Structure 1
Amino acid sequence: MAYSRDGKRCLLSIHPEGDTFGELALFGPPRAESAMAMTRTVLRQVPASRLRQALSDDALLQDFIVKLGERVVEQQQMITNLLTMDSERRLAAILLHLAQKVGNRADCGYVVEIRDRITQEDLSGMVGTTRSRVGYFLKRFRDAGLVESVPDSFLCINESRMTAFLEGCAC
């Protein structure tokens, strides 16, 4: 999560259980982002010197390079979406990305569980729009069959329909 000078919150990413983050701090000045847990969480901090030492293992180094590449691609895609998509399509792209990252496969697509506690406010921080616009877009997505509400879950995202929407096809 990052904050603008005027205090506006920007939610950069949501990480599933077992994921790593903060690795880019190895390569530059101190980062301004912070992390916030959405559920009870145990974090393990690895000192940079220990990580660098561990990376002398070629297999671990290769895995680390792949992880860094994935993170850079993800961030480049986020930047591209911010510059090229309107807020409705950014929300669609973020929902699809979250579904694939933290969702569970189901008949309806990917179910994002309520335990992940993703709110419309969180989504608005990721999209760069207001919570009320996110609510409006979610209603449009429900009406178009891109997402559906599922009991005891946040949403079910229909991957094929959401992908078609993002590619500009009729829903």
Structure 2
Amino acid sequence: MIQENPTIILFKSQLRDSLLKETVSYQNIKIAKHDSIYNCGDSDNKIYFVESGQVKLVITSPEGKECILVIHTKGDIFGELCLSGLSARLETATAMEQTYLKQIPAAQFLMLLSNESLLESFIKYLAIRIADQQQVISTLVTVNSEQRLGKTLLQLAHSLGKQDPRSILIALKISHEELAAMIGTTRPRISLFMRRFRNLGLIETTKEHFLIVKELKLTNYLAQIA
């Protein structure tokens, strides 16, 4: 994962504050677990702000195989591809748990960025997102599935995790099926690799079924098997 620099971190904080003020009178949209916010092919010109919960963006092949592009959590925005002028959504956005959102029309979102002098920072933020996706594509085609899983766990730890005395805690419930959809392999292979990682002390699972990633140990292990 491309590390976010202080400018991008500041931008995300400023954008969240601005969106909260802009949408303070808007009603929260409640999305039940497994329900879709929008589907591939939908015509939708809104940007979404996650108040609470988690949302996955998924592309599905003609054969029905899913690929999870990214997971968004509290404070994130998604749906910004509507700013490209494309007439239809390219992906499906689905709630992974009960989620509350606010939505803002694309034109109003751009006006907000302009009024708050955030346009330049938004472009840098999008560049980081593109670099992340390029890195994901590179990983999919250049390394084996065990390495892809390890790299994905590190990416999730960096983007969604919080520091824990044991390393980094990912306080989200991500199933083996969802991990398989993220790295392009099968659930049984994910289970095999997760068991291996656990036996080697690279990860732990809490009683709440959250994941603890031992960042240094996992990084060193991936370097050894590369």
- In the TM superposition, 1:112-127 aligns within 5 A as 112-113=170-171, 116-127=172-183
After alignment, is 18-27 or 128-137 more displaced? 18-27
Unaligned runs of 5+ in 1: none
Partner residue, 1:74? 132
| 2:162 aligned with 1:107 | no
2:141 to 61, 67, 83: 83
Shift of 1:63: 2.6
CA contact (8 A) 1:9 1:125 kept: yes
- 2:206 is matched by which residue type in structure 1? V
- In the TM superposition, 1:153-168 aligns within 5 A as 153-166=209-222, 168=223
SS in 2 for 1:145: coil
| 2:224 aligned with 1:169 | yes
- In the TM superposition, 1:145-156 aligns within 5 A as 145-156=201-212
> TM-score, normalised to structure 2's length?
0.69
Aligned residues: 167
Shift of 1:28: 4.6
- In the TM superposition, 1:130-149 aligns within 5 A as 130-149=186-205
Q: Deviations over 1:98-143 (max 9, x none)?
A: 1122222112111122xx2210000000010000000000011112
| 2:82 aligned with 1:25 | yes
Unaligned runs of 5+ in 2: 1-57
Partner residue, 2:92? 34
Could you say which structure has the higher helix fraction? Answer: 1
Partner residue, 2:61? 4
Distance 1:154 1:117 in 2: 6
CA contact (8 A) 2:173 2:209 kept: no
- Percent identical pairs in the alignment equals 41
Shift of 1:72: 0.8
Distance 1:81 1:104 in 2: 24
Distance 1:120 1:92 in 2: 13
SS in 1 for 2:78: coil
SS in 2 for 1:68: helix
Distance 2:100 2:154 in 1: 27
Distance 2:146 2:82 in 1: 32
- 1:169 is matched by which residue type in structure 2? Q
- 2:165 is matched by which residue type in structure 1? D
Give the root-mean-square deviation of aligned CA atoms.
1.6
> TM-score, normalised to structure 1's length?
0.90
CA contact (8 A) 2:166 2:212 kept: yes
Shift of 1:42: 1.5
Could you say which structure has the higher strand fraction? Answer: 2
